[in-house]
A and B are shown apart, each in its own frame.
Chain A
Amino acid sequence: MTSRFTTGLLNRPVWFLWIVLLLCFWVAAWAGAVPVTADDWRVLWRHEEPLTSGAYVLWNLRLPRILFAALVGAVLGLSGALTQGLFRNPLADPGLLGVTSGAACAAALTIVVLAGSGIDIPIAWRFWVLPLTAFAGAVGVCLLLDTVARWLTADSIAGLLLTGIALNALAAAIIGLCTYLATDEQLRSLTFWTLGSLAGGSWSLVAALSLLLLAAIWYARRLVGAMNALALGEAAAAHVGIHVRHLRRCVIILVALLCGFSVAWCGVIGFIGLVAPHIVRLVVGPDQRRLVPLAMLVGAIILLVADTTARIVAIPAEIPVGIFTALLGAPFFLALLTSVRKGG
């Protein structure tokens, strides 16, 4: 009975993953340094003064953060699935399109050059400058990459990959130079930025990212069919009437906006974009129509679990989340790999 129920669930991975995600939400909302009681949940409709510490932490810090973690995870899963589909290469991740290095490069230049130039930025703006420049850097480098690759290597996707490697190396060199030139204080800001963290999650970011993700999902639905055709090869896709050049541009813009946003606000969170689509592919196969939404759910689950672990393992301290995305995700992925290979 139980086994039939579980197989039934596994045949409907979307429902299965939604249940897992909701369970993770439940655990994440209860777990943390400050104890939360059932009463703290009710403050939403029973305005009580003054708020208990549990209610304050729950509604102002913990809930926005776990929602933000799940949204960022979904964004990374979506971008990973689209990038791998575009490159027709399971080793591709959004970083190959220059998102991460572009954002990091812009952040490093902002911290070292802009701050060093003595331009006085109003205090109210200071908080926004870094995420905005990082976002601009991510999108800018992605579009530059597409344009340069098209100019140098016609419309070849392999050319895009190679140009991406070259541009990434160039960005890394600029980051290295900035690190070398940075003063101790600037180096400190750079460290804050590169250590990926979801600590900044707030309701306004959650709202902004949900809108962006919603728009991206709506847009991605039109692309997935064409992506399936592209899996047969660029020439084959062109023969069935897919405008490969247009598709490529669309995917790059989508990935640049999504990953750019997440990198700008959370710093570098690796691994999810690469592995979430793989996990899904092992279970449901390469059909992009199923792969893309499931990769989003898997990405959301991995990042939510990793961030919750990072929050609660060393209370009252916190451990960088990047450690746990890989620490929890990699063994799971390996286990899935063995079981699928054996079963198949």
Chain B
Amino acid sequence: MSFLNMSQDDLAIIPARRQFLLQAGALAASVCLPQSLWAADKKSARRIVSIGGALTEIIYALGASQELAGVDTTSLYPEAATKLPSVGYARTLSSEGILALAPNHVIATEDAGPPAVLRQISAAGVPVTILAANDKFEGVLDRVARLGTLIDRPTQATQLVEKMKADWQRAREPILARKSPAPRVLFILSHSPGQVMVGGKGSSAEAMLHYVGAQNAVQGFDGFKPLTPEAVIAAQPDVVLFTDQGLSIVGGIDGVLKLPGVAQTPAGQKRRVASLEAMFMLGFGPRMPQALTALDNALLKVMST
């Protein structure tokens, strides 16, 4: 008998497991839960959990900030958003944590996850809306309009869209009128000193560079890829562009010049390094026209040296 192989202690496990299994099966059958109280909350005050810095910015710009019940860790602007309960990093959300904020709507970018958590939240009766975006100004306008409809602020949304269009026009005019040759810009993203990425074709950084009339110095690959010295030298950038966060991580301008290959480029020889705050420059939110002007000014400033 194979039981002989087991000590007396081991036998205790099996009946208990079996019993537990029966319970689990019984539970699955008996707890056929209806849509719970979250769904019934529709009439009371709206409580939104916003997952994505750009979405939070839009909600603030639409004057609906008092309806925010929670935000994720990328919601850093405006300052007041950082005071709201934080549901954590957008990619490691917690279903129970979000439900504890008693939201009646979860609005997220496509970055949000894990997928199982989003499913659990909508299964609990809280609608989850994913507002995808592309790296185009029209995409941002579209997102503002859709968000306005979702949170019953269509008028404010139309006004914001009109204002953004006017600002955009104003920001683009000097760029379109300029005759000087487009500077070649290398965008570097750095989360840690050892991890330095370069923005290639189709990256969000390239989209901003094109709007500002600059040329992405890197054309050999798609998206963000690790920096290689030879590729940097071959790109021959006139300017190296950073996020503020990335620039301080690599150690300021002197740190940039120490990155492999950078010193051998025109940008490195003339110390042309520009930087902007990450969510401002690449957030693709309501501040995009201002970001465009700021980026343009930053590039003009370093190019004039």
Inside 8 A of A249's CB, which chain B residues have their CB?
Answer: none
User: How far is B95's CA from A59's CA once the two chains are assembled, in angstroms?
Assistant: 13
Q: Mark A226-238, 1 if CB is under 8 A from B, else 0.
A: 0000000000000
B9 touching A290 by the CB < 8 A rule? yes
Q: How many A-B residue pairs have CB under 8 A?
A: 176
Closest residue of chain A to B93 (Cβ to Cβ) is: A318
Closest residue of chain A to B39 (Cβ to Cβ) is: A50
Q: Judge if A51 is at the interface, Cβ distance under 8 Å.
A: yes
Q: A60-B33, A191-B91, A214-B17 are in contact. Are A184 and B224 (CB under 8 A)?
A: yes
Q: A289-B7, A316-B101 are in contact. Are A210 and B17 (CB under 8 A)?
A: yes
From B18-26, B155-163, B249-257, B272-280, the one touching the partner chain is B18-26
Q: Judge if A152 is at the interface, Cβ distance under 8 Å.
A: no
Inside 8 A of B116's CB, which chain A residues have their CB?
Answer: 197, 199-200
Inside 8 A of A213's CB, which chain B residues have their CB?
Answer: 17
Which residues of chain A (270-303) have a CB below 8 Å from chain B?
289-290, 292-293, 296-297
Q: Judge if A149 is at the interface, Cβ distance under 8 Å.
A: no
Q: A317-B86, A317-B88 are in contact. Are A51 and B7 (CB under 8 A)?
A: no
From B117-125, B142-150, B165-173, B177-185, the one touching the partner chain is B117-125
Q: Judge if B70 is at the interface, Cβ distance under 8 Å.
A: yes
From B56-64, B107-115, B212-220, the one touching the partner chain is B107-115
User: How far is B14's CA from A221's CA once the two chains are assembled, in angstroms?
Assistant: 11
A207 touching B31 by the CB < 8 A rule? no
User: How far is B223's CA from A315's CA once the two chains are assembled, in angstroms?
Assistant: 34
User: How far is B135's CA from A185's CA once the two chains are assembled, in angstroms?
Assistant: 13
Closest residue of chain B to A51 (Cβ to Cβ) is: B36
Number of A interface residues in the complex (CB < 8 A) = 63
Inside 8 A of A293's CB, which chain B residues have their CB?
Answer: 9-10, 13
Inside 8 A of B45's CB, which chain A residues have their CB?
Answer: none
Q: A50-B40, A213-B17 are in contact. Are A33 and B24 (CB under 8 A)?
A: no
Q: Judge if A334 is at the interface, Cβ distance under 8 Å.
A: no
Inside 8 A of B25's CB, which chain A residues have their CB?
Answer: 207
A180 touching B101 by the CB < 8 A rule? no
B97 touching A33 by the CB < 8 A rule? yes
User: How far is B21's CA from A188's CA once the two chains are assembled, in angstroms?
Assistant: 35
Closest residue of chain B to A62 (Cβ to Cβ) is: B96
Q: A51-B34, A207-B28, A214-B21 are in contact. Are A314 and B88 (CB under 8 A)?
A: yes
B36 touching A56 by the CB < 8 A rule? yes
B70 touching A316 by the CB < 8 A rule? yes
Chain A interface main SS type: helix
Inside 8 A of B124's CB, which chain A residues have their CB?
Answer: 56-57, 60-61
Q: Mark A191-225, 1 if CB is under 8 A from B, else 0.
A: 11001010110011011001101100110011011
A52 touching B37 by the CB < 8 A rule? yes
User: How far is B25's CA from A204's CA once the two chains are assembled, in angstroms?
Assistant: 8
Inside 8 A of A218's CB, which chain B residues have their CB?
Answer: 14
Q: A53-B102, A204-B28 are in contact. Are A311 and B94 (CB under 8 A)?
A: yes
B91 touching A210 by the CB < 8 A rule? no
CB distance from B111 to the nearest CB of A (A): 6
Inside 8 A of B27's CB, which chain A residues have their CB?
Answer: 44, 59, 63, 203
Q: Judge if A113 is at the interface, Cβ distance under 8 Å.
A: no
Inside 8 A of A18's CB, which chain B residues have their CB?
Answer: 12, 16
Q: Judge if A147 is at the interface, Cβ distance under 8 Å.
A: no
Q: Judge if B92 is at the interface, Cβ distance under 8 Å.
A: yes
Inside 8 A of B21's CB, which chain A residues have their CB?
Answer: 207, 210-211, 214
CB distance from A233 to the nearest CB of B (A): 20
Inside 8 A of B114's CB, which chain A residues have their CB?
Answer: 192, 195, 197, 199-200
User: How far is B77's CA from A191's CA once the two chains are assembled, in angstroms?
Assistant: 25
User: How far is B111's CA from A184's CA once the two chains are assembled, in angstroms?
Assistant: 10
User: How far is B21's CA from A214's CA once the two chains are assembled, in angstroms?
Assistant: 9
5 residue pairs, one from A and one from B, having the closest CB atoms:
A317-B88, A316-B97, A318-B94, A33-B100, A200-B116
28 contacts between A and B (CB under 8 A): A14-B12, A15-B12, A44-B30, A49-B34, A51-B36, A56-B33, A57-B100, A59-B33, A67-B24, A180-B225, A185-B110, A188-B91, A188-B111, A192-B113, A195-B91, A195-B92, A199-B94, A199-B95, A199-B117, A200-B114, A210-B21, A214-B17, A290-B9, A293-B9, A293-B10, A317-B92, A318-B94, A318-B97
Q: Which residues of A contact B (CB under 8 A)?
A: 12-15, 18, 32-34, 43-44, 49-53, 56-57, 59-63, 67, 127, 180, 183-185, 188, 191-192, 195, 197, 199-200, 203-204, 206-207, 210-211, 213-214, 217-218, 221-222, 224-225, 289-290, 292-293, 296-297, 311, 314-320
Beyond contacts A33-B99, A221-B5: 15 other A-B pairs, Cβ-Cβ < 8 A, are A13-B9, A18-B12, A51-B34, A53-B36, A59-B31, A197-B114, A199-B95, A213-B17, A217-B14, A289-B5, A292-B10, A293-B9, A296-B13, A314-B88, A317-B87
